[in-house]
Amino acid sequence: METVLALLTGTMVAGSVFLMLGKNLVRFIFGLMLASNAVNLLIFAAGRPDTSRPPLIPQGSLQPVAAVANSLPQALILTAIVIGFALLAFIFILFLRAYQQLGTVDTEAMTNSESGNQDTAPSERPRP
């Protein structure tokens, strides 16, 4: 099980690094999604997945009746997914705005338009 997870995580990280190193921001988002899922898998593997029984206490008893899965990694992953989701929503909107304002999703083209707006006082800000 761990071997499979480790291989899968490795493949996903490799793919995500490939995507993130490209100069297209849309590719970067996909790379980021892949990477955050790879990290989630890593946390899951670190929690030593051994049984498939959910960590629930049946009605009427005070403790689990049989060995159950470790629930903490799942809680950590859930939190990480929630946060990742919120960040992703934000980054989508930001990149959409960047595309609308700068007219490109190419990071090199963005950097090249650097000159000329070093000093942007609020009074001279363009409004969308």
Partner 1 sequence: MPSFILRAANRILVGLILVFSVYLLLRGHNAPGGGFSAALVAATGFALFAIAEGPQPVRQALRIDPLVLVAWGLLLAIGSGLMAVVTGQPYLTGLWWPADATVDTPAVGTPLLFDVGVFLAVLGTILTLILHLEES
Partner 2 sequence: MNGLLVAPIIVPFAAAALALLGRRRPLFQHVSALTVAAIHLVAGGWLLYQVHHQGIAVLHVGGWPAPFGIALVADHLSALMVLITGVVYGAVVVYSRAEISADDIRRGYYPLLHILVGGISGAFLTGDLFNLYVWFEVMLMASFALLVLGRTRAQIKGGVTYVVINLFATLLFLTGLGMVYGMTGTLNMAHLHLKLRAVADPGQVAAVSVLFLTAFGIKSGLFPLFFWLPASYHTPPVAVSAIFSGLLTKVGVYALIRTFTLIFPFGSSGLQELVLAAAALTMITGVLGAAAQSDIRRILSFHIISQVGYMVLGLGLFTPLALAGAVFYLLHHIVVKANLFLISGLIRQRGGSFALKRIGGMYARGLLALLFFIPAFSLAGFPPLSGFWAKMILIRSSLDSGQFVLAGVAAAVGLLTVYSMTKIWNEAFWKPMPTTETAIVQNRVSVWMTAPVVALVLLTVCIGFWPEPFVQLARTAAEELLDPMAYVYTVVGEMR
**Contact flag: residue 3 with partner 2 (CB under 8 A):** no
39 binds, among partner 2, partner 1, none (CB under 5 to 8 A by kind): partner 2
59 binds, among partner 1, partner 2, none (CB under 5 to 8 A by kind): partner 1
Q: Which of 72, 87, 89, 102 is the binder for partner 1 (CB under 8 A)?
A: 89
**Contact flag: residue 94 with partner 1 (CB under 8 A):** no
**Contact flag: residue 5 with partner 2 (CB under 8 A):** no
Residues 53-82 that bind partner 1 (CB under 8 A): 56, 59-60, 82
Q: HEC states along the chain?
A: CHHHHHHHHHHHHHHHHHHHHCCEHHHHHHHHHHHHHHHHHHHHHHCCCCCCCCCCCCCCCCCCCCCCCCCHHHHHHHHHHHHHHHHHHHHHHHHHHHHHHHCCCEHHHHHHCCCCCCCCCHHHCCCC
Is the distance from CB of 55 to CB of 69 less than 8 angstroms? Answer: yes
Residue in 5, 3, 29, 25 with CA at minimum distance from that of residue 16:
29
Residues 2-61 that bind partner 1 (CB under 8 A): 56, 59-60
Residues at the interface with partner 2 (CB under 8 A): 20, 25, 28, 32, 35-36, 39, 42-43, 45-48, 72-73, 76, 79-80, 83, 86-87, 90-91, 94-95, 97-98, 101-102, 107, 110, 113-114, 117-123, 125-128
